[in-house]
Amino acid sequence: MKEILNFFKKLFIKKSGEKVNQKLNIKEQTDDLNITEEHGIDEIPEVHYCCICGAPETDVNLVIRSNNNQYICEKCADLIHFQIDEINKYTKVTEETEKATKEMLENTQITNKKKFAKTLVPSPHEIKEFLDKYVIGQDEAKIKLAVAVYNHYKRINQDEDDTDIEKASILLLGATGSGKTLLAKTIAKLMDVPITIVDSTCFTQAGYVGEDVESILSRLYQAADGDIERAEHGIVFIDEIDKIAKQGDSPSITKDVSGEGVQQALLKILEGSVVRFAPNGGRKHPEKEMIEIDTKNILFICSGAFVGIEKRIEKRLNMRAIGFNADNTHNVKKDDIIEYLTADDVRAFGMIPELVGRLPIITYVKNLTKEELRRVLTEPKNSIIKQYTKLFKMDNVKLEFEDAALDYIVEKAIGTKTGARGLRSIIEEIMTQYMYDIPSTRKRKLIITKEYVENVYSAKQNYKFA
């Protein structure tokens, strides 16, 4: 509509200018001929023109007159009326189309939610069976996570009545390389929901140098490819949560903006509320585009190693006997102390009570044993050996490992105390030279022996500078 009116406005100005020029030409001609009333000749009558097409009133019927003595002929008036009708029809059709599209999308979202509730929420047994295909051991953690995930997505589709099921986020403890991150990734793969993995150490309290906790949601939004509905049903994995623990109970002259301050900032997101964030990340700014997301249906999994928490458990259990005839009534193995973990131990470690209260499901993963590390190499669907076998297969090379070589790799990985991550780093060192040479050769089979692994590993360990 604006474009057509601007067109007519430009045309009006153009024709008005032509009309003025015509008047000036007539005046010049009469001046040259000295035609005046003194010669007995009447003044030439003024001729009106259409301000749009420029036609004189002698040729057309002028039907519209403005306050500033501008005229529009009948033909141009009909044309304007026709164009306005066409614009109104187009606008009406566009509005109806947008309305129908919006209703269709809403119905599709409702249908998808119902479908998700009925068919995409597997039972706890099915969830654990799926986790077993990718993660070795950790049965206790798998069972708790399976039940938590099952209840979480059932809660999303709960019927509206007087009983409202509250959300329950998860706290997962365990040493590095024990499978915490892999468990979360596998759950997201099973549920077909977006997941974002963030490190809590990069966040600070609002107003200080560092990232705001709201940037967690922008990363989830990006993982969902900008689909806010999928993001609101996704998973957020916050790693290294133990690194933002309070630095003791003693008062400090400086504010703990990266510790307790971050814990306080996380409360609102974990609780479930509508949060505004910048879709491209970064700090909040009045001029930035902001998006709202409801976190009540987002599953939060907080994870951390919590190094030294076993000592707090020992202290609480009073496991150290004192006196000549003292008897230690708690016959607990050192590796099993973590089984007695409670929320009180987490609070004593330095997590504020409000945050612990929003993480009611507390579970743990144990350090992998030698047998479990050996299984990690070959049994999971995405095991390290299967990954390298596939890489070499793409070069038409068959890769094999001797059992003795795998056992040697496991022994060295235990010494690194980094769990399954130690396996990956050792195999990477072993395979680098072969992955460099094999594509340029005609070899079609490669067997990794224990002797070769020992030579490569020993060369790395015994290297000395001249």
**174 in the same domain as 291:** yes
Q: How is the chain split among helix, strand and coil, in percent rounded to 5?
A: 55, 10, 35
Distance (Å, whole) CA 370 – CA 367: 10
Instruction: Tell me the residue type at 166.
Output: E
Instruction: Tell me the residue type at 210.
Output: G
* Cα radius of gyration rounded to whole Å, the chain: 38
**376 in the same domain as 248:** no
Distance (Å, whole) CA 344 – CA 316: 9
Distance (Å, whole) CA 202 – CA 315: 32
Query: In terms of Cα–Cα distance, which of 135, 178, 174, 134 is closest to 413?
Result: 178
Task: Return the number of other C-beta atoms located less than 10 Å from residue 229's C-beta.
Answer: 12
Domain closes at, from 119, 147, 177:
119
Q: Burial, 97: exposed, middle or buried (Cβ in 10 Å; 0-12, 13-18, 19+)?
A: exposed
Distance (Å, whole) CA 296 – CA 42: 89
Burial string for 380-413 (b: 16+ CB within 10 Å, else e) reads beebbbeebbeebeeeebebebeeebbebbbebb
**105 in the same domain as 65:** yes
Cα angle for residues 240, 235, 110 (degrees, 5° grid): 165
Measured between alpha carbons, how far is residue 362 from residues 125, 302, 342 in Å?
20, 10, 8
Distance (Å, whole) CA 136 – CA 370: 12
Q: Contact at 8 Å (CB) between 73 and 62?
A: yes
Distance (Å, whole) CA 285 – CA 465: 53
Predicted pLDDT at 39: 44
In a domain, 48, yes or no: yes
Burial string for 156-187 (b: 16+ CB within 10 Å, else e) reads beeeeeeeeeebebbbbbbbbbbbbbbbbbbb
Predicted pLDDT at 200: 84
**40 in the same domain as 96:** yes
**212 in the same domain as 324:** yes
Domain closes at, from 119, 151, 168:
119
In a domain, 32, yes or no: yes
**290 in the same domain as 199:** yes
Measured between alpha carbons, how far is residue 296 from residues 97, 169, 194, 218, 274 in Å?
32, 10, 16, 16, 8
Contacts of 284 (CB under 8 A, 6+ apart): 206, 212, 214, 276, 277, 278, 290
| pLDDT per residue as tens digits for the range 363-394 | 998 888 889 889 998 888 888 899 999 998 98
Contacts of 196 (CB under 8 A, 6+ apart): 216, 219, 220, 222, 223, 234, 235, 236, 237
In a domain, 305, yes or no: yes
**382 in the same domain as 355:** no
**312 in the same domain as 345:** yes
Token pair in block for residue 299: 């599953």
Q: Burial, 115: exposed, middle or buried (Cβ in 10 Å; 0-12, 13-18, 19+)?
A: exposed
CATH of the domain at 206: 3.40.50.300
The bridge status of strand 361-364 relative to strand 274-277 is unpaired
Q: Point out which residues pair with 291 in neighbouring strands.
A: 277
Count of domains observed in the chain: 3
In a domain, 466, yes or no: no
In a domain, 291, yes or no: yes
Q: Contact at 8 Å (CB) between 206 and 282?
A: no
* Domain range for 234: 122-364
**396 in the same domain as 287:** no
State the helix-helix crossing angle for 403-416 and 370-378, rounded to 10 degrees: 120
CATH of the domain at 384: 1.10.8.60
**228 in the same domain as 87:** no
CA torsion, ordered 265, 269, 273, 277, to nearest 10 deg: 80
Name the percent of the chain lying above pLDDT 70.
Answer: 72
Distance (Å, whole) CA 112 – CA 110: 5
Helices (H), 192-327: 215-223, 228-231, 260-271, 309-317
Domain closes at, from 364, 393, 418:
364
In a domain, 193, yes or no: yes
In a domain, 393, yes or no: yes
List, for the chain, all residue ranges whose pLDDT scores fall below the cut of 50.
1, 5, 12-42, 108-119, 253, 321-324, 326, 329, 462-466
In a domain, 209, yes or no: yes
**87 in the same domain as 65:** yes
**208 in the same domain as 355:** yes
Instruction: Tell me the residue type at 364.
Output: Y
